[in-house]
Amino acid sequence: MANPIVLLITFLLLLHMYSGSSSPAADPEQVVEEVLTSINNATKRRNLGFLSCGTGNPIDDCWRCDPDWEKNRKRLADCAIGFGKGAIGGRNGKFYIVTDPSDKDVVNPKPGTLRHAVIQKEPLWITFKQDMVIKLKAELIMNSFKTIDGRGRSVHIAGGPCITIQYVTNIIIHGINIHDCKQGGNMYIRDSPDHYGWRTLSDGDGVSIFGGSHIWIDHCSLSNCQDGLIDAIRGSTAITISNNYMTHHNKVMLLGHSDSYTQDKNMQVTIAFNHFGEGLVQRMPRCRHGYFHVVNNDYTHWIMYAIGGSASPTINSQGNRYLAPDNRGRKEVTKREAAAETKWKNWNWKSEGDLMLNGAFFRKSGAGASFSYARASSLSAKPSSLVSSMTAGAGVLKCSKGSPCST
């Protein structure tokens, strides 16, 4: 067995090497090629993933160290944290194995395709027979109580419209590469075995949550979509976005439909253990009206700002690591939209235990009364010094039968 002191020294050296660097945005064509061929290749930070067990990441520590994860797939449904912890997906249903990556008929989808699986009425835990790239003909409209579990396969949803979670509940999406998503629609699309309807043009999001609840998106790799990587609007709530690796995108995450849509005051979202990486510009996330717990994420690239919002959202930033993208002076993490300081100074935006590097700073506001953050205690923040190890395995993992999943 290796000397634990040597392992510790090695870890600290790797951490030091990584923390002082930031990657510039790549050429778009190069990005697509890299995503398709090597999105999960180890980098300096992801080589820290051997510390994935027992580092304080409660999701990974719940299931990831189990070498029999394939036999115990549904254990994952008991591992969610935060506001989306009630999302059970297809835990109480049968397994459905996707065998066919095609999507030729969106009104009468072929059995064995992902579209046929997600529209069924009963709970289903959806897995994949082999590696596949799924280029959807139209947005994938999901029915309630579904888990899409990509572990053990390399599954890409890319090059066409992507995932829509509209007015449904209890959805888990885990271990999927989602990238290069386009607009789609102006056609009939089936959303259940006994209903199909006309859909207008979609936005081109990676994952679009519209009036959905009890949603958990975990360990996915997302990049380069036409609109947002993950957007949640129109009364969506009880959402956790965790352990994802997001790169090469402008408007990353929109949470809240519009300043005038006050129903989003009930929105509650936990954003935890994600790695916001190279080539990102803004909206990590951009918030409206609701309550947003941003906890133990690693921000290593953000050109305009990391966290923004309008319409008086409550933002609780705890234990994150914010590495400003350059050293040319101070760089603000936050941005208030569409409001004068006389208004936004009363918005409750809190930073607690965050690590600010390379000139990053968080502009706090509001009275900071404890009651305004009480309902946001979706999970306890760990020290920001642990962020690198807790997020080292962010994104899609490599999972082989008989051994724990790794980076």
Residues known to be catalytic = 283
Write out the two tokens for 229.
Answer: 């990587």
- Peptide bond before 285: cis, by omega within 30 degrees of 0? yes
What single letter denotes the amino acid at residue 152?
A: G
Write out the DSSP string of 40-52.
T---TTGGGGGG-
Which residues 6+ apart lie within 8 Å of 136 measured at CB? Answer: 103, 115, 157, 160, 161, 162, 184
Question: What's the CA gap between 332 and 136, in Å, rounded?
Answer: 39
Beta bridge partners of 300: none
- 220 and 171 Cβ atoms separated by less than 8 Å: no
Q: Is 188 helix (H, G, I), strand (E, B) or coil?
A: strand
Using DSSP's 3-state secondary structure scheme, residue 14 falls into helix
Instruction: State how far the alpha carbon of 305 is from the alpha carbons of 20, 240, 341, in Å.
Output: 19, 22, 17
CA separation for the pair 52, 309 (Å, rounded): 32
What values do phi and psi take at 213, rounded to 5? Answer: -145, 155
Omega within 30 of 0 (cis) for the link into 58: no
What is the Cβ-side half-sphere exposure of residue 281, based on CA atoms within 13 angstroms? 10
Contact 245, 221 (CB under 8 A): yes
Beta-strand relationship, 195-199 and 187-192:
antiparallel
- The DSSP symbol for 365 reads B
| The token pair that represents 282 in the structure block | 């803004």
